[in-house]
Amino acid sequence: MAEPLLSVTDLVVRYGGRRGGKTVIDGVSLDLNAGETVSLVGESGSGKTTIGRAILGLAPVTGGTIQFRGQKIDNIPRSRRRQIARDLQVIFQDPYSSLNPSMTVESILAEPLRAAGVTAGRDRVRELLDAVGLPADAGRRYPREFSGGQRQRIAIARALALEPSVIVCDEPTSALDVTTQARVLALLADIQKATGVAYLFISHDLGVVHAISDRIAVLNSGQIVELGDARQIVSRPQHPYTRRLLMAAPVADPPRQRAKRAQRLALLQRDAPEEPAAPHDAVA
């Protein structure tokens, strides 16, 4: 069994110092192997985004380790990040904020290339635009001239520039319309088929990830409550929280949704005594 590309062990992320601090991630461990898609699913406040940011070096690691290709990457200096950047990239949620509005698309795509010391040829940029289904002349234009879905494609192209082996996708389709979302997910699947890149896919929506994931980790309040094969999690969830998540997402089919709703209500009554108070009803 090959060593995992990315390995997170007992990760702890804590903000705010000793008194009155907040533990956002409380002992999370997971692995990502080459070519696979592992999804992190959780609601707001679960810590899923923080895990992604810690892996990318955007959040400080208080405890535990993160290893990439066997090397420690938690709390390393920026210069070391540059070396890893060729291999570990990111796509963010907000297509409006993730592209600098005053740079042309071409310079946005060339930036990672230049940072890695690769000559950013026009051809390479055109290649990338092509890979995400954007016209060749898009390079000369500015982000504001594109729709949300198109901007997200530009962000994907930027992530692909250095041919990484792992891309952290931080809710890449949450801000998009449902038809655009479907197309972007299809694009991500195609890219994985063509390049063999591995995805760490972060989402609040089990529905979005279940079709594209190999394995799913369900997060609640900074801890993984369930981790396993995607199909199994979705069809035979073990943990009550996972069950709640599954049952709560409505399906676009009235008769099936009616059945699902009945099932959910029955489940709630059955699980009710074991449930802790729903965290989102607490006073802030």
Find the shortest distance in angstroms from Cβ 143 to another protein. 9
Find the shortest distance in angstroms from Cβ 15 to another protein. 14
The answer to the question of residue 250 lying near another protein (CB under 8 A) is yes
Burial of residue 200, with CB atoms counted within 10 A of its CB: 0-12 exposed, 13-18 middle, 19 or more buried: buried
x/- track of binding to another protein for residues 91-130 (CB under 8 A): -xxx--xxxxxxx----x--xx--xx--------------
Contact range with another protein by CB under 8 A, out of 6-14, 16-24, 193-201, 247-255: 247-255
x/- track of binding to another protein for residues 196-215 (CB under 8 A): --------xxxxx-xx----
Please say which residue, 136 or 259, places its beta carbon nearer to another protein: 259
Q: How far apart are CA 95 and CA 92, in angstroms?
A: 7
Residue for token digits 């890695």?
116
The H-assigned helical ranges of 57-141 are 78-85, 105-115, 122-131
Query: 245: Cβ–Cβ under 8 A, 6 or more apart, which residues?
Result: 41, 43, 206, 218
The answer to the question of residue 158 lying near another protein (CB under 8 A) is yes
Structure tokens at 211: 């079709």
Q: How far apart are CA 216 and CA 208, in angstroms?
A: 12
Q: Which helix (H) or strand (E) holds 150?
A: helix 148-160
Q: Which of 126, 153, 215, 244 binds another protein (CB under 8 A)?
A: 244
Please say which residue, 134 or 159, places its beta carbon nearer to another protein: 159
- Among residue numbers 44 through 63, which ones bind another protein (CB under 8 A)? 44, 53, 56-58
Find the shortest distance in angstroms from Cβ 1 to another protein. 28
Please say which residue, 131 or 161, places its beta carbon nearer to another protein: 161
CB 54 within 8 A of CB 65: no
The answer to the question of residue 247 lying near another protein (CB under 8 A) is yes
CB 213 within 8 A of CB 201: yes
x/- track of binding to another protein for residues 131-150 (CB under 8 A): -----------x-x---x--
